[in-house]
Amino acid sequence: MSEVDPTDELKRAPAPAEPEPAAAPEEVPEVSAPAASQAPAAAPSHAAPSHNPPSYVLFAVVAVLAAAADLISKEWATDKLTGPQRALARDEDFVVIQGLFELRYARNNGGAWSALSTLPEIWRRPFFLFVSTAASVFITSIYHRIDRSDWAMKWGLPLALGGAVGNLVDRVRHGFVVDFLHVFIEMKGDRKTWPTFNVADVWIVAGVALMAISLFSGKSRLTAPDEEPEPEPAPRGP
């Protein structure tokens, strides 16, 4: 029997299988800083309503015309309804609508419906001057806080201001307000009268009525004095 060479056995033995190389991990693309900055920002949950104030030119024109109409009408009434050269030449008040409306000159030392007219002059005149001035300043200060679409408030404020200025000028010049419009109703010989008023009072009542319409209709929105519309976000660059 022949001897087996161990080296021949090793040569005939199969070589061990080499391990397969591990798969390279997939590369994750990096996001550059500019690309990340281009991502759209999340929309806010609720945008603040924009404030669009009305024009002060309209405010000034309406207020000036209202005050001028009142003062001119008072000058006409003083000239035509009083004095020896009374143009209407009537002993009684000038009747415009029989049994309803007439012109009657009157001096009102007080406020509406002659309120506080019995106060001493030293207190009455400064008080009404202060009230009229304060009302004018207040109306002017809140006009820019209303929105242009609020038509009732946009017209009501300057009308009320024109009436307040008209009566204020009278108080400064004369110490009283000239009234000459008189409404009444005659029924069975009995006369029910409304206190005599003037054109300024008409503007004030009309202005307050328009402001009430705006408030009760829910369309009025006054912005806070320090409230400003939020600026729109600036567009992001590439």
- Annotated catalytic sites, by residue? 179, 201
Distances (CA, A) of 153 to 60, 106, 214: 14, 32, 6
Which of 138-156 are b and which e, b meaning 16 or more Cβ less than 10 Å from the residue's Cβ?
A: ebbeebeebbeebebbbbb
Q: How far apart are CA 77 and CA 87, in angstroms?
A: 10
Q: How far apart are CA 142 and CA 223, in angstroms?
A: 9
Three-class secondary structure of residue 229 per DSSP: coil
